[in-house]
Structure 1
Amino acid sequence: MRRKSAETRQEIIDAAYTLFYQKGFMRTGVDAIANAAGITKRTLYQHFGSKDELIGAVLEHQHQIALERIRRWADYMTGTPAQMVMALFEKLVQWAAETEWQGSGFTRAAMEFADLPGHPARKAARRQKQEIEMVLTKKFNGQGFDDAEKLVREVLLLIEGCQSLALIHEDLDYIDAARHAALILVRNYQSDI
């Protein structure tokens, strides 16, 4: 019985994530999630006490998947700091070129719940972005930068910005522009070493 319950819970999370990513967190109703998971709304509420609790569970599940993706990207980042930045943006372009790409679900969640700082979505987005920053800082720390943390924050600003503009304009060239700016940042940091 527990296995069936765990499977149902995961099916709800998977269905909810797909709908949240496609339509947004606020615009996706519990009825639509239950229908997509092939369950009743009552069953959904037996697993999750509220839509906010479900959102938190979905983002926690996605956190693990997204963090694993960024760790793979970090493993792919080798060579000089400039080569590392090129590799990072190459992976970003590959991800963004996927047909259903709509940017970072964590960023989108934070924006949807911008007026609710204590909401589970805001907390999950903050945690996700902090952990990505830590992974990349660790990677760049090995390159001899005095302030790898500051460099990574600036690169992450470029990544967040280019994703937003790529979505707004439906043009992935913004990712290339951010890559170019990141390479300039790296060169500036290297001249300080």
Structure 2
Amino acid sequence: MNIDTKLISVAEGLFDNHGFNSTGMDRLAQAAGISSRTLYKHAGSKNELIAAVLMTRGQRFLQRLEVDSVEALFDALAGWMCEEGARGCLFLRAQGELCSAVPEVTEAVLAYKARFAETVAQILTRQLGTNADAELVEQIVILIEGATAAASYRGMEAVASARKAASLLVGRARQ
């Protein structure tokens, strides 16, 4: 594993488990087993590192969504949560902690959320056999966002409930 890959992996774990503001660069360097100088050389600023972590995590999650139905999308979400944990969306947690004060993070969040919505639209189009209605895409995205947040305190039942609601919406769209 090269240093950039290791650094992003370590940073993702710390940010995910301890938050963005409470994870300092010294802690990141120590956890990665590198000097502060090496950390800054490879990561740039903390904000750049956060944006890189979000981009990498987003790519990893979106790769899991190469599915052909909304039901399979929720199954992929459940699988992700079983492996990664159900602590809510890391992107929304970053936005919430850092607000709009960090443009690199805001840009990463907005870019990911746009790609995610496009992915949902593509899945719906494959499932329905026609272009998905923008309102249906938005409804499914909101169900996924809600399930992701609610799973942190309701467990996987939140994902199962959202999956059922999404399936009903898709069924209505077919009529």
> Which bracket does the TM-score occupy, shorter chain normalised?
0.7 to 0.9
* 87 and 70 in structure 1: CA distance in 2 versus 1, 3 angstrom threshold: closer
Distance 1:99 1:20 in 2: 13
Counterpart amino acid of residue 85 in structure 1: V
2:11 counterpart (1, 8, 16): 16
2:112 is the counterpart of 1:128: yes
Tell me the equivalent position of 1:80: none
Q: How does 1:3-152 map to 2 (within 5 A)?
A: 7-71=2-66, 74=67, 77=68, 84-98=69-83, 100-116=85-101, 119-142=103-126, 143-145=128-130, 147-152=132-137
How high is the sequence identity, in percent, across the aligned residues?
A: 34
Q: Detail structure 1 runs of 4+ shifted over 4 Å in the superposition.
A: none
Residues 55 and 91 of structure 1, relative CA distance in 2, 3 Å threshold: same
TM-score, with structure 2 as normaliser: 0.87
Counterpart residue identity of residue 22, structure 2:
R
Aligned to 1:155: 140
Q: CA deviation at 1:59?
A: 1.9
Q: Which runs of 5+ in 2 are unaligned?
A: none
Q: Which of these two proteins has the greater Rg computed from alpha carbons?
A: 1
Question: Where does structure 1 lack aligned partners over 5 or more consecutive residues?
Answer: 1-5, 78-83
Whether the 8 Å contact between 2:20 and 2:94 is mirrored in structure 1 is yes
- Structure 2 distance, partners of 1:55, 1:110, is 11
The alignment's TM-score, normalised by the length of structure 1, stands at: 0.79
For the 8 Å contact 1:133–1:152, the answer to whether it is kept is yes
| Length, aligned pairs only | 174
